[in-house]
Amino acid sequence: MSDIINAKELRYLKEILRECAEYQRKRNSDNNFKVFEKDDGSPVTDVDLWSNEFLNEKLSAKFPGIPYIGEENEDHSYPLNSEYIWFVDPIDGTKHFIEKRGQFFILIGLVRNGKPIAGFYLEPKSGTLVYTLPNTDVLTISLWKPNEADKKMNINVETLPNHLTMKRIPAELRNQIASKSGFERSRYMDDVHAALAPLFNRSSGLLMNRKTHFWDICAPAAIMNNMGFDIQLVKDGHNILMNKGNLFCDFVSVLPKESAKNVLPHVPYLNYPKDAD
């Protein structure tokens, strides 16, 4: 366990995730939700808003003093150089939730001194939770089967598919990376799936040249970091910390450490065209 999340706190986190997931699953299956439009034109539901408030209340009660930055917060500010910060997406995949297709997720990530150290990735429909704590293994469990023991997840890098997910990277550059690194480009995946794809043997990693908010990447980054992967979160050409008042990065890479040595030298992400397909 860790200095902030011991066995008691872990049980608490699983319980609030279970309660939130049950609420989302029921509202979705009953088709009982309202849809609104945010200022940026993207959809949000009253279930997103309820889940955000619920998780904010529960995390703040158990971990007082730690800033909670949820996607649906009205205020996304936090004290500069905060030791700990929660970054939370109460429903990652709101469009899927609304259209009742595909999957949606609850993402909870914890940052310490600007670096992601703990992550919880929950698929409410199946109840499958993948999580990691500071300096621990990555574990999985079904929250709908509380009597089952948590299972350790493993990655055999040598048996991963010989391709990478490359998002918003120009075709010419994708081909250059592939020819010089030996990796092919994998099929399209949603961002969260792409960051965690090696866990499920779907790709060897991710290169993503797009604005990515911390509530979307914090939990996957913590999980893959504890799987021994190289994680790069870059903004304006520089690796960044997640406690400097910022909320997003503009380039993400998730790669096996040996692969990172072969791939990253061929990725001139300082000059990526921001409007690339």
pLDDT, tens digit (0-9, with 9 covering 90-100), for 206-239: 999 999 999 999 999 999 999 999 999 999 888 8
**Which pLDDT score is estimated for 266?**
83
Gap between the Cα atoms of 71 and 74, Å rounded: 9
Mean pLDDT across 129-143:
95
Higher pLDDT, 16 or 269: 16
pLDDT at 3 over 80: no
Dihedral Cα 184, 232, 72, 113, nearest 10 deg: 160
Q: What is the pLDDT of residue 218?
A: 98
82-103 per-position pLDDT tens digit: 999 999 999 999 999 999 887 8
Domain boundaries for CATH 3.40.190.80 within the chain:
157-271
What is the number of H-type helices and E-type strands within the chain? 7, 17
The verdict on domain 157-271 having CATH code 3.40.190.80 is yes
Note the pLDDT of residue 275: 35
HSE-CB at 25 with a 13 A cutoff on CA atoms is 15
% of the chain exceeding 90 in pLDDT: 75
Q: Above 60 in pLDDT, residue 1?
A: no
Rg, Å, the chain Cα set: 18
Token pair in block for residue 39: 């200022």
Q: How many CB atoms lie within 10 A of CB 25?
A: 17
Query: Of 19-33, 141-155, 183-197, where does mean pLDDT reach its minimum?
Result: 183-197
pLDDT score of 277 more than 50: no
- pTM across the whole model: 0.94
Record: fold of 7-152: Fructose-1,6-Bisphosphatase; Chain A, domain 1 (3.30.540)
Average pLDDT (161-178) is: 89
Ranges for all domains in the chain classified under CATH 3.30.540.10? 7-152
Instruction: Tell me the backbone φ, ψ of residue 175, rounded to 5 degrees.
Output: -65, -40
